[in-house]
Structure 1
Amino acid sequence: MRKKSDSRVEESRYVYGLFSGRMRAQALLTALELRVFDHLSFPLSSEELSATLQCHPANTGALLDSLAAAELLEKKEGRYCNEQCADDLLNSESQNYIGKILLLMHRMSADVVSDMTRLVKDGPFADHSGFGNEEIWVDYARTVGNYHKGGMMQDIAGIVSGIEGFSSFGNMLDLGGGPGLYCIGIVSESESMKGVVFDRPGVLRVAEEFIAEYGMRDRISVKSGDYLADSIGEGYDLIWASSTLNFARSDLDRLMMKIHDALVPGGVFVSLAEGLTDEGTKPDFYVLENLSYALTGFNQVFRKGEIAGAMHRAGFVSVDSMTVETPMMPMEMDIARKKT
């Protein structure tokens, strides 16, 4: 039987651990900003690294000790070296680098984090003009594109290409497609399919860069507009939407009908989005990261089954749902088919 005193120690350490998370996160962000991990694929002393980075020697050593405590670095005989996960994910030379998206997520939430008490006490401020800032979304698209290139593009393309009838699909639409990497990956799984990436004009500049990089200009085009208000085209065999339907959550049924009508008979709509469970408290990563949006009045997250329900209401004859494990969190993929 566990002693009560032992339980109290465990509980206290859990809460203290939560509190120390703020320093873990800030140490990681500081290291990313200084590109610490880029220089520690091989062991260096704090003095050697501080000279390379032109940083304060003693404070560099304190930061490195903290990163070692967080098990991102190994310290041996006074020299520091990346642990495997840091070399794979936090070294900007790695194809799996996620540092850029971590820094972007930090920048997008920093103001809310610093003002959280006031927001909880007084409520959200009314200004959401940042959501209309084109340059923010351009930067976001480029950053997310690099994240998708780290393996997500290939994983998703593998799943979608397994959908019944995929080999006969001729045209696809990537709705709110951002950098267009998912469209590139999916189209690449077919010998003849062509694709359209639909998004804001500025964001599409990023998509065009990736389309050119992958040599897909002859098979993938772009279409600019607001999918809530503008035509999205028609005659598609496949429509794909990833983490974008949130902007239509308050009017999801109308958008779902538009998607349904844009498909040919027998066409397929695939959505990849969060799907909260446990009364909206899981996955913990997404709930916590969404807090910065929720506190400013933009809490448009989906519960598990919500998108599938809208698909049924729009008239899709079948909806299959599955959980997809991604590097950030588990996500819900809903696959709906239009009547033939």
Structure 2
Amino acid sequence: MKNSVQAPGPLYRMMQQYKEAQLLFAGIELDVFFYLQGAVTAVAVAGKTGYDARNLALFLNSLAAIGLLEKNGDCFQNTPVAEVFLNRHSELYLGEYLAFRNRMTSLDQVVARVRQGPDVSIRQHNQGSRVYNFRELARLSAVEIYTGRVQDFLQAVQSVFLPDSALHVLDLGGGSGMLAIETLTQFSRASGVIFEHPQVADIPEQFVKERRLMDRLQVWRGDFMTDDIGDGYDLIVASGIFDFASADLPGMAGKIARALRPHGYLYLVSHQVSADFLSPKEVIVGWLPSHLDGLDLLQSRQSIEAALTQAGLTKASRDAAGAAGGLRGELYHFV
């Protein structure tokens, strides 16, 4: 046999990354990070959880090997990243969110889908709500959004509006509604609307009530593709919605432009998909299960920009990437 010119190292690294991800989600399911805020032995954790002490020690040792725990003698403790994001007592706990996203983007059915083809009914109607649980996503992303996306968004908005501006804001397909909520928190004279699907709208309603913003922030129910979204907005936030406007991308862009006041701004959050649909790889792979199920959702960066330009929206700036799936926020100006 001839010597191989290309070493198989990348394949083994992929296998290792898969195993490390399995360890992460096992740790979340077992909730071990909750018990490891300080240095604790596996025996002590087993006493509180009822887990097998021997196997728990082996498992914690593996979590330490991949950098999620620190080990000192027989004691284990969360690393800083595990303490912040994987301990369920943390304000930025992402364990439940990460587990949900993992299930939502699972590749377990790839082989079957490639052999058998997509779900015919899903492909006929191209309805994302039949594949994704948007209500649960909205609930869980209310925390995740504070790991970068809220901060980037506020920086962009504060760069074009004065603090005392009486903004009228629309958060279109707003999910948890946190971007609109934070806008009204930062701009005391602002008011606005969160527009969401009827199956999701109770989630942002709960958060609006918790923040006591009911007099300034309304939640509208509807389909943003077909229903009236209002007008006279100074700022429209559109997070990922263009991926669900494949039937009429220019129409969606025009609808947003008509809803803006002259010199208003669109804050667009998109996946920045290349024209050949090869990057970002996290997006292409993450959306593969839904595409195999029969959905046709992702829009390329070029097609979205072309639709916005046609509608009279000009790119004003680009912000840093958010934490989830390579999402990026960009400001567009309507002249």
TM-score by length of 1: 0.88
Alignment of 1:117 with 2:114, yes or no, is: no
Q: Secondary structure at the match of 1:230?
A: coil
CA 1:178 to 1:280, structure 2 compared with 1: closer, same or farther past 3 Å? Answer: same
Q: Deviations over 1:15-42 (max 9, x none)?
A: 1120122221121111111211111111
Indicate which of 88, 91, 96 corresponds to 1:92.
88
Alignment of 1:191 with 2:180, yes or no, is: no
Aligned to 2:243: 246
Following the alignment from structure 2 to structure 1, what is the Cα–Cα distance between the partners of residues 244 and 78? 39
What does residue range 9-28 of structure 1 map to in structure 2 within 5 Å? 11-28=7-24
Aligned to 1:38: 34
What does residue range 31-70 of structure 1 map to in structure 2 within 5 Å? 31-70=27-66
**Paired amino acid for 1:253:** P
Aligned to 1:227: 224
Indicate which of 119, 126, 133 corresponds to 2:120.
126
Alignment of 1:236 with 2:233, yes or no, is: yes
Aligned to 1:291: 288
CA contact (8 A) 2:156 2:319 kept: no
CA 1:326 to 1:338, structure 2 compared with 1: closer, same or farther past 3 Å? Answer: closer
Following the alignment from structure 2 to structure 1, what is the Cα–Cα distance between the partners of residues 237 and 46? 47
CA contact (8 A) 1:95 1:150 kept: no
CA 1:276 to 1:256, structure 2 compared with 1: closer, same or farther past 3 Å? Answer: same
CA 1:205 to 1:295, structure 2 compared with 1: closer, same or farther past 3 Å? Answer: same
Aligned to 1:333: 329
RMSD over aligned CA atoms reads 2.5
What does residue range 142-291 of structure 1 map to in structure 2 within 5 Å? 142-163=139-160, 168-277=165-274, 279-291=276-288
CA contact (8 A) 1:134 1:203 kept: no
CA contact (8 A) 1:101 1:143 kept: yes
CA 1:284 to 1:323, structure 2 compared with 1: closer, same or farther past 3 Å? Answer: farther
Aligned to 1:74: 70
What does residue range 297-312 of structure 1 map to in structure 2 within 5 Å? 297-312=294-309
CA 1:285 to 1:133, structure 2 compared with 1: closer, same or farther past 3 Å? Answer: closer
Percent identity, aligned pairs only?
27
CA contact (8 A) 1:290 1:299 kept: no
CA 1:134 to 1:117, structure 2 compared with 1: closer, same or farther past 3 Å? Answer: closer
Count how many residue pairs are aligned between Structure 1 and Structure 2: 330
Q: Secondary structure at the match of 1:30?
A: helix
CA contact (8 A) 1:172 1:196 kept: yes
Following the alignment from structure 2 to structure 1, what is the Cα–Cα distance between the partners of residues 277 and 334? 30
CA contact (8 A) 2:163 2:186 kept: no
The structure with more helix, counted as a fraction of residues:
1
CA contact (8 A) 1:323 1:330 kept: no
**Paired amino acid for 2:282:** F
What does residue range 316-327 of structure 1 map to in structure 2 within 5 Å? 316=313, 318-327=314-323
CA 1:195 to 1:100, structure 2 compared with 1: closer, same or farther past 3 Å? Answer: same
The alpha-carbon deviation at position 177 of structure 1 amounts to: 0.7
**Paired amino acid for 1:95:** E
Following the alignment from structure 1 to structure 2, what is the Cα–Cα distance between the partners of residues 100 and 284? 24
Q: Secondary structure at the match of 2:247?
A: helix
Q: Secondary structure at the match of 2:174?
A: coil
CA 1:166 to 1:267, structure 2 compared with 1: closer, same or farther past 3 Å? Answer: farther
Q: Secondary structure at the match of 1:203?
A: coil
Following the alignment from structure 1 to structure 2, what is the Cα–Cα distance between the partners of residues 68 and 250? 48
Aligned to 2:101: 105
Q: Secondary structure at the match of 1:298?
A: coil
**Paired amino acid for 1:308:** E
CA contact (8 A) 1:161 1:186 kept: no
Q: Comparing both chains, which one has the higher relative contact order based on Cα–Cα distances under 8 Å and sequence gaps of 6 or more? A: 2
Segments of structure 2 that go 5 or more residues without pairing to the other structure are none
Q: Secondary structure at the match of 1:119?
A: helix
CA contact (8 A) 1:321 1:332 kept: no
**Paired amino acid for 1:30:** A
CA contact (8 A) 1:142 1:179 kept: yes
TM-score by length of 2: 0.89
Moved over 6 A (4+): none
Moved more, 252-261 or 153-162: 153-162
Q: Deviations over 1:60-107 (max 9, x none)?
A: 223212211211112221221111111111111122222121111122
CA contact (8 A) 2:283 2:326 kept: no
